[in-house]
Structure 1
Amino acid sequence: MTREELIQKWLDHSLNSEEQKAFEQLEDYKDLMQLNNALHSFKSPEFSVGKNYKALQPNLKKKTTQTWYKPLLKVAAILAICFSVYYYTTTLDSSFNTEIASQTTIDLPDTSEVILNANSNLVFNENHWNDKREVKLDGEAFFKVAKGKKFDVITDNGVVSVLGTQFNVKQRDGYFEVICYEGLVGVKTKDNYTELRPGNGIKIIDGKLFAKEKESTAQPAWLRSESNFTNTPLKHVIKELENYYNIKVVIDKADANRLYTGSFSHKNLDLALQSVTIPLNLSYSKSGTSIVLKRE
């Protein structure tokens, strides 16, 4: 692999172990590393990496007997690479993921706090935060937003916008729910715009808007290791069970769209299964990490 190919893969963060070793053997490896480290605290002017590299590329490949300018070309090439490093590192997003039955707390650059629920993903760009307070969410999270510019939570089902407040957003396959706990929350979906005040919420399941009962608690139930449901199709309740327990739930001869109202604990699988199956006159059986639900 050529030197240029190694450097390009290094910039793309795609070197494998063998390529990494070859990259470290480059003559100017130490220079690249020093300049890379220095660039983390360097604010560059507007610079087109592609345009400048394209202009330099013919000179880098041209063979000539004149050698006096070769050191200058080397410096120019290193500077182009370092500007590329700076561009890549300042445009990279920060991404946080949680596994089954896990949670994590994320501190955003403006002291806002996000508690990310199980099996969820949150993405934001720290370097652009002062210009745009924006996060992308897939899953569920509870937000405590510091006052300041508009704060947007972008999901596949809609955008939640606030200035400073506490709210919960849940966006999973076919399920979208927002509950305001403090302040004022604006929710924009494909079909409408809704403003929520403390205790109010909006719930869209499989594309249908459902009435949401007024919330009487100060925080979502999942922060207390419990999941609550009101008139929710069984298939979505099961998805939540799978998010808190390392299991696969199969519905056998039962209506997956049957509505369920109730709650289950995140700390005891049998108790959780009983909380879901008994009110619906279902039974369950275990086979390894699989649970089969059946009609009585």
Structure 2
Amino acid sequence: MEKEYLIKKWLDNNLSDSELEAFKSLEDYDALVKLSNYSKGFKAPNFNQEAILDTIISQPKATPKKENWIVKALKVAAILVLCFSAYYYTTTLDTSYSTDFAEKKWIELPDHSTVNLNALSNITYNKNNWKTTRDINLQGEAFFNVEKGSSFNVITNNGTVTVLGTAFNVKHRDNFFEVTCYQGRVKVIHKDKTTILAKGETFLVVNGIIINRSTALDKPQWLSNTSAFKSIPLKEVIAEFERQYNVKVTTKNINTDLIFTGRFTHDNIDTALKSITLPIQLTYTKTNNTIILTRE
């Protein structure tokens, strides 16, 4: 029998018994069977076009869904709430400036008043309400030169300083609170005590003890990279030295409540250390970022 004849009848599934035996004896039999098995997996499903068309036509037409007016109102209200929240957040957001170890920073406020921040200090204020409320929160030390206008308040944990237009310095550390007036007048409220300072006067609180003193200077010396002290505990001097040079100072057999008068520069660490240690007969050693003070 001819090969093509047998294959055609086999594809039509119309082989007789004798023809099937002849087909199985073909040398291409195994390959033809495998091909047939693979092709079955790709056979397209039956498609009844008329039935599907009838199904589509018989479906009801979708009508546009009317949106309830309450839903619309709620959407508008939600948008308004979001807008109001964004406005409230931006208008109540505070502006902050801070300094790191051995860093000073000059800031101009919205009314052109200025602030000089000493090392490791921070101020916070709201510039959007500045025209009506000139309040600044201070941590650390800052020198203020204030333009005339509404009341200007510097708020610290140890007290509040209020002015109308003046130049003054505020230093607020752990157990140290100092206000010096360099121009005009300032009002200092510390706990239940109110003190008015004129030019050249200082209000100082050290370890809870109030000290009043005067100064002949026109501005604080730290603005010229020098820290100056008059009858101040040594531990306050050491703390300021650490802030200006970003070092750790440890002491051995030294009373850090010892009263110190003097100054040190911010530009040379060895010169600064000699300025502190020589007047009170101390020695120092430096190891990496640590300085050890000892009694001679």
- Which interval holds the TM-score relative to the shorter structure? 0.7 to 0.9
The alpha carbon displacement at 1:281 in A equals 1.1
Maintained 8 Å contact 2:152/2:164:
yes
- 1:218 corresponds to which letter in structure 2? D
Structure 1 position 78, deviation (Å): 2.3
1:180 Cα deviation from its structure 2 partner:
0.6
Q: CA deviation at 1:215?
A: 1.4
Letter in 2 for 1:265: T
SS for the counterpart of 1:280 is coil
**Runs (5+) with no aligned partner, structure 1:** 1-64
Matching residue's letter, 2:107:
I
Name structure 2 gaps, 5 residues minimum: 1-64
| Aligned residue in 1 for 2:262 | 262
Cα displacement (A) at 1:76: 2.8
CA deviations 1:166-219 (Å, max 9, x no partner) are 00000011011111110011111014211111111111111111242x212211
For residues 252 and 93 of structure 1, the distance between their equivalents in structure 2, rounded to whole angstroms, comes to 43
- Aligned-pair distance for 1:72? 4.7
Correspondence 1:185-224 to 2 at 5 A: 185-212=186-213, 214-224=214-224
Q: Equivalents in 2 of 1:178, 1:95: separation in Å?
A: 21
Letter in structure 1 aligned against 2:292: V
* Mapped partners of 1:227, 1:138: distance in 2: 18
What is the alpha-carbon distance in structure 1 between the residues aligned to residue 291 and residue 186 of structure 2?
A: 38
Instruction: Give the Å deviation of 1:82.
Output: 1.6
Q: How many angstroms apart in 1 are the aligned matches of 2:85 and 2:163?
A: 35
Alignment partner, residue 104 of structure 1: 105
Equivalent-residue separation in structure 2 for 1:191 and 1:293 (angstroms): 39
- 1:68-99, CA deviations, whole angstroms, 9 ceiling, x for partnerless residues? 44455334322211211111111111111111
The TM-score normalised by the length of structure 1 is: 0.75
Asked which structure has the greater CA Rg, the reply is: 2
3-state secondary structure, aligned to 2:130: coil
User: Is the 2:136–2:153 Cα contact (8 Å) retained in structure 1?
Assistant: yes
2:167 corresponds in structure 1 to 166
Amino acid of the structure 2 residue aligned with 1:249: V
1:1-296 → structure 2 map (5 Å cutoff): 67-69=67-69, 70=71, 72-212=73-213, 214-296=214-296
Report the Cα distance in structure 2 between the residues aligned to 1:111 and 1:134, rounded to whole angstroms. 14
Work out whether residues 201 and 212 of structure 2, in 8 Å CA contact, stay in contact via their aligned partners in 1: no
- Alpha-carbon distance in structure 1 between the residues aligned to 2:106 and 2:66: 59
Return the letter of the residue paired with 2:124. V
CA RMSD, Structure 1 to Structure 2 (Å): 1.4
How much does 1:127 deviate?
1.4
Aligned to 1:20: none
Please list the CA deviations of residues 262-283 of structure 1 after superposition, one character each: whole Å capped at 9, or x if unmatched: 0000000011011001111111
Q: Alignment partner of 2:103: what SS?
A: coil
Deviations 1:12-67 (A, max 9, x none): xxxxxxxxxxxxxxxxxxxxxxxxxxxxxxxxxxxxxxxxxxxxxxxxxxxxx864
Measured in 2, the distance between the counterparts of 1:191 and 1:174 equals: 17
State how far apart, in whole Å, the 2-side matches of 1:66 and 1:254 are. Answer: 85
Task: Give the secondary-structure state (helix, strand or coil) at the position aligned to 1:267.
Answer: coil
CA distance in 1, matches of 2:68, 2:272: 77
TM-score (norm 2): 0.75
Letter matched to residue 175 of structure 2: G
The one-letter amino acid paired with 1:195 is: I
Match of 1:39 in 2: none
Q: 1:242 Cα deviation (Å)? A: 0.9
In structure 2, distance between residues paired with 1:278 and 1:203: 26
Residue identity matched to 1:278:
L
Question: Once structures 1 and 2 are overlaid, which stretch shifts more, 223-232 or 124-133?
Answer: 124-133
SS of the equivalent of 2:128 reads: coil
1:180 and 1:258 mapped to 2: Cα distance?
27
- Write out per-residue CA displacement over residues 106-165 of structure 1, whole angstroms, 9 at most, x where no aligned residue: 111111111111100101111111221111101000001000111111111111111000
Q: Residue 127 of structure 1: SS of its match in structure 2?
A: helix
Total equivalences in the alignment: 231
C-alpha distance in structure 2 between counterparts of 1:146 and 1:80, whole Å: 38
Task: Give the SS at the match of 1:83.
Answer: helix
Whole-angstrom distance in 2 between the partners of 1:179 and 1:270: 29
The amino acid of 2:199's aligned partner reads P
- Which amino acid is the alignment partner of residue 153 of structure 1? V
Q: Distance in 2 between matches of 1:211 and 1:68?
A: 73
Q: Percent identity?
A: 48
